Chains A and B, each alone.
Chain A
Amino acid sequence: MPAEDEDLKIEPASAPPDPETLRERLRTMARIRAFEEQVGRQFREGNVHGFVHTSIGQEAVAAGSCGVLDRDDFITTTHRGHGHCLAKGADPEPMMAELFGRETGTCHGRGGSMHLADASLGILGANGIVGAGVPIAVGAALAARREQAGRVALAFFGEGAVHCGAFHEGMVLAVAWQAPVVFICENNHYAEFTPSTGAWGGPGLLERASAYGVPALRVEGNDVGKVEAAVRAAVNSARAGAGPAFLEMLTYRMGGHYEGDAEPYRVEGEREEWAERDPIAAVDATLAAAGQDGVAKALLEEARQEMEAAVRNALAAPYPEPEAVMEYVGA
């Protein structure tokens, strides 16, 4: 199914990541999985509010992509952005506190799940508006280009976002400016209640991107090594001044669109099929073949403890003072 032969320009490094790096990525994926599991649980408990979208099954895209970035590179993400933030270095403790609406949260309780952001880590925000992060990443890349410091921007977005104006205008600008931006289109097969494959006719994602003059590549998104290799190639080329690239990451949304979604639209048998391609189990198997047994289990255990601690601290943290509601409105 992954059609690497559709490669148009990007040449991902073929060497698989060394066991050390793989282990590190597995750690990131385990932390994302454990964070998302807790978010689901805490939503059902009533500690997390509003609209919450988790990324279970998609951890390899976040871990592999952000794995090649430096601290001062930029990312923009979406309503489904917890994993990207964690992989970019955000601390799960204030993230959890943010979802709990606490003053100690990443955004002091003002933002919530859909608006996680940490400028000190180059995280220019999750987003509640589909497509909105795409031109924002292009703008960050424009700033990076002016600085000449080799920084890049990654725009994470779902395959459902590629129909809206913001995406298309973002692509046009990235090409016009040869901006150092990499578009990471996470194809998790659903946009809300709509299966995405073939939904709207026309050419596929790669053809659309390449029609704008952006080199495009489809990547097996549940294989963290392949994700990392492709992103590294695209990022290196953007840093070198060769302009934007587009990567379609084939993956799968294992959970509902939002927490509490009854999912009547789910294609039967599909989830079971994709469970066989679990990104964490895949790395675990690779490491086991290299003689390292039980790594995923150990890392998941460690991550679950970390997230339990994050929950405990979030529960104990104060809420913002209601009188401070006007804080941060203006400059």
Chain B
Amino acid sequence: MPDPTATAKPPRYLDAVNAALADEMRADGSVIALGVDIGRGGGAYGVTRGLFEEFGADRVIDTPIAEAGVLGAAVGAAMAGQRPVAEVMYMDFVTVCLDPIVNQAAKLRYMTGGGVTVPIVFRTQTGGGRSGGAQHSQSLEGILAHIPGLDVYCPSDARDAYDLLVAAIRADHPVCFVENRRLYGKRADGWEREALPPGRARLVREGADLTIVTWGRMVPESIAALDALPDVAADLIDLRTLAPLDVDTVVESVRRTGRCLVVHEAVERFGPGGELISKVAEGALFDLDGPILRHGARPTPVPYSPGLEAAMLPDSEGIGAAIARTLEG
């Protein structure tokens, strides 16, 4: 019997991902999961624990280390009536299996003139800042968001992890679902929040001084930066999904605040910030009181040494300094 005095803790981010997978697999027999060590092993981070036991080897499919083949097969299965959720263990590894994502899944509906649908989810995770090294730490969501035909979801907390994964699995088009391993252990703060669909940004904080636009782990990092700056009042916008992109919410906010800072963990060079700044300039140029800035990682491979990595990646301190520059500009 459960302890009556125990207060139910809100789920952690990884519990939310697990619950979304389990709920959708229960609700729809065509949902299958594939990936390296996701079945018996329960996933490199324990995210898929219990699914193999509940749904069996037929639906929770352990695969050899053959990502290009696995993702290609997932595309085929999707066209043939399944709803595959294929995992790429680290986002860095999408480079070994980009063809099924970029040239196949993303384009098939268009190339066939609507003749096929590809209801597929590519689940992956990122999370720099823990000395994972250059091949286990990258934020490559901008590469994916560049490709027409792909949706890209980047949840920043457990609530969104659940809602966006459910939406991704139900969608009839390909979705890249980018988790952040540094958030896996974080319990939901606002689990009771109403579900928002993909393509709708969330106003995390409101304030008149500037607009901060971000997603993923940079949301809590930006909150920490603002907490350290009690005199600054900002609209903090969590985009939640890069594609579709909620331009309206961002532009509407910048028109009110007159200043805008984009923050992301990906490197700045040709990063998603450039696209966002362009959209803000188009929509709010004449309401601006200063240049639109961005703060992302420096253009280097992610270094191993903790001090170098800290110098390369954005953090609350760096965001604070970028906020100051945005307000001065």
How long is the Cα–Cα vector from A100 to B175 in the complex, in angstroms?
A: 39
How long is the Cα–Cα vector from A320 to B309 in the complex, in angstroms?
A: 11
Is B305 among interface residues, defined by CB-CB distance under 8 A?
Answer: yes
Residues in A neighbouring B136, C-beta threshold 8 A: 50-51, 114, 128
Does A320 lie within 8 Å of B41, measured CB to CB?
Answer: no
Q: Tell me which of B66, B132, B298, B311 contacts A50 (CB under 8 A).
A: B132
From A7-15, A159-167, A243-251, give the one contacting chain B: A159-167
- Smallest CB-CB separation from A322: which chain B residue? B311
Does B308 lie within 8 Å of A192, measured CB to CB?
Answer: no
How long is the Cα–Cα vector from A107 to B310 in the complex, in angstroms?
A: 18
Does B132 lie within 8 Å of A51, measured CB to CB?
Answer: yes
Is B307 among interface residues, defined by CB-CB distance under 8 A?
Answer: yes
Is B190 among interface residues, defined by CB-CB distance under 8 A?
Answer: no
A326 and B298 contact, Cβ closer than 8 Å, known pairs A101-B304, A115-B304: yes
How long is the Cα–Cα vector from A165 to B70 in the complex, in angstroms?
A: 11
How long is the Cα–Cα vector from A50 to B135 in the complex, in angstroms?
A: 12
Is B299 among interface residues, defined by CB-CB distance under 8 A?
Answer: yes
Does A161 lie within 8 Å of B131, measured CB to CB?
Answer: no
A115 and B65 contact, Cβ closer than 8 Å, known pairs A50-B304, A102-B305, A165-B96: no
Question: For chain B, what secondary structure do more than half of its interface residues adopt (helix, strand, loop), or is it mixed?
Answer: loop
Is B40 among interface residues, defined by CB-CB distance under 8 A?
Answer: yes
Is B247 among interface residues, defined by CB-CB distance under 8 A?
Answer: no
Does A164 lie within 8 Å of B304, measured CB to CB?
Answer: no
Is A265 among interface residues, defined by CB-CB distance under 8 A?
Answer: yes
A164 and B132 contact, Cβ closer than 8 Å, known pairs A131-B65, A323-B311, A325-B312: no
Does A193 lie within 8 Å of B93, measured CB to CB?
Answer: no
Is A279 among interface residues, defined by CB-CB distance under 8 A?
Answer: no
Residues in B neighbouring A110, C-beta threshold 8 A: 134, 301, 303-305, 308
Does B65 lie within 8 Å of A163, measured CB to CB?
Answer: yes
**A25 to nearest B CB, angstroms?**
30
- Smallest CB-CB separation from A258: which chain B residue? B44
* B 303-329 to A, binary, CB cutoff 8 A, 1 in contact else 0: 111111011100000000000000000
- Smallest CB-CB separation from A48: which chain B residue? B131
Does B304 lie within 8 Å of A128, measured CB to CB?
Answer: no
Does B304 lie within 8 Å of A194, measured CB to CB?
Answer: no
Residues of B at under 8 Å CB distance from A?
A: 36-37, 40-41, 44, 62, 64-69, 92-93, 95-96, 130-136, 298-301, 303-308, 310-312
8 closest A-B pairs by CB: A112-B304, A128-B135, A193-B41, A109-B305, A49-B131, A101-B305, A50-B131, A163-B64
Residues of A at under 8 Å CB distance from B?
A: 49-51, 98, 101-102, 105, 107, 109-115, 127-132, 160-161, 163-166, 191-194, 199-200, 265, 319-320, 322-326, 329
A-B contact pairs, 15 of them (CB 8 A): A49-B130, A49-B306, A50-B133, A101-B304, A101-B307, A109-B305, A110-B304, A114-B135, A115-B133, A164-B66, A164-B68, A199-B64, A319-B306, A325-B298, A325-B300
